[in-house]
């Protein structure tokens, strides 16, 4: 039914409560964090709500069309780490409330000191494909 994107990025939202960069965590804390993410995705597979989840490499580049017959222009990477998109999850749920509930759980992933990160996740509804809706 409605699909939502849970987007983990660093653009515009205030810092999370437990905002310590990952390289300052202990290795076990990193493992625990990843385990939490995997468990979360698996739980959604079992509830029949999981669609997709991907993590993105931090490095990237900017590409644009540069005129007919010319190769695309490539620029960057720009050093704007605050624009980084870390990854996303797509869920298919019954309601907006359920999407919010799940985003809240995902945001509780443990970080530094084993405490929840409380990071802000952006939650965006997908535009629907169909247009059958009874007027």
Partner 1 sequence: MDEAVLRAVVPQVIAILVRRGADFAAAEDAVQDALVEALRSWPDDPPRDPKSWLVTVAWRRFLDVVRSDAARQRRELAVEGEPQPGLAETADDTLRVFFHCAHPALTPTSAVALTLRAVAGLTTRQVAEAYLVPEATMAQRISRAKRTVSTESFDRPGDLATVRRVLYLVFNEGYTGDVDLAAEAIRLTRQLAALAQDPETDGLLALMLLHHARRPARTRADGSLVPLAEQDRTLWDSSLIEEGVALLQAALAQERRGELQLQAAVAALHADARTAEETDWVQIVQWYDELLALTGSPVVRLNRAVAVGEADGARTGLAALAEVDPGLPRHRAASAYLLEKAGDLPAAARTYAEAADLATSQAERTHLTKQAARLNAALR
List of residues contacting partner 1 (CB under 8 A): 1, 3, 45-52, 92-94, 125, 127-135
In the bound state with partner 1, the residue whose beta carbon lies nearer, of 46 and 59, is 46
Give CA–CA dist 134/90, Å, rounded. 27
CB of 65: closest distance to partner 1 in angstroms?
22
Q: Do 10 and 83 contact (CB within 8 A), yes or no? A: yes
CA distance 92 to 83: 26
Nearest CB to partner 1, comparing residues 106 and 117:
106
DSSP characters over 14-41: PPPTT---GGGS-HHHHHHHHHHHHHHH
Q: Are 10 and 110 in contact (CB under 8 A)?
A: no
Smallest distance, partner 1 to C-beta of residue 28, A:
31
Closest CB to partner 1 among 93 and 102?
Answer: 93
Of 11 and 45, which CB lies nearer to partner 1 in the complex structure?
45
Q: In the bound complex, what is the minimum distance in angstroms from residue 134's beta carbon to partner 1?
A: 6
Q: From its phi and psi, is residue 113 left (phi > 0), alpha (psi between -120 and 50) or beta?
A: left
CB of 98 to partner 1, least distance (A): 9
């Amino acid at each position: 039914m409605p699909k939502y994107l849970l987007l983990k990025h660093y653009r515009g939202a205030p810092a999370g409560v437990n905002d310590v960069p990952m390289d300052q965590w202990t290795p076990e804390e990193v493992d625990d964090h990843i385990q939490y993410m995997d468990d979360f995705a698996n739980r959604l597979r079992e509830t029949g709500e999981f669609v997709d989840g991907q993590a993105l490499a931090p490095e990237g580049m900017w590409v644009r069309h540069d005129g007919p017959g010319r190769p695309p222009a490539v620029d960057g990477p720009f050093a704007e780490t605050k624009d980084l998109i870390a990854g996303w999850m797509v869920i298919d749920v019954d309601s907006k409330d359920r999407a919010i509930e799940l985003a809240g759980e995902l945001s509780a992933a443990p970080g530094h000191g084993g405490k929840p990160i409380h990071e802000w996740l952006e939650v965006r509804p997908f535009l629907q494909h169909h247009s059958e809706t009874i007027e």
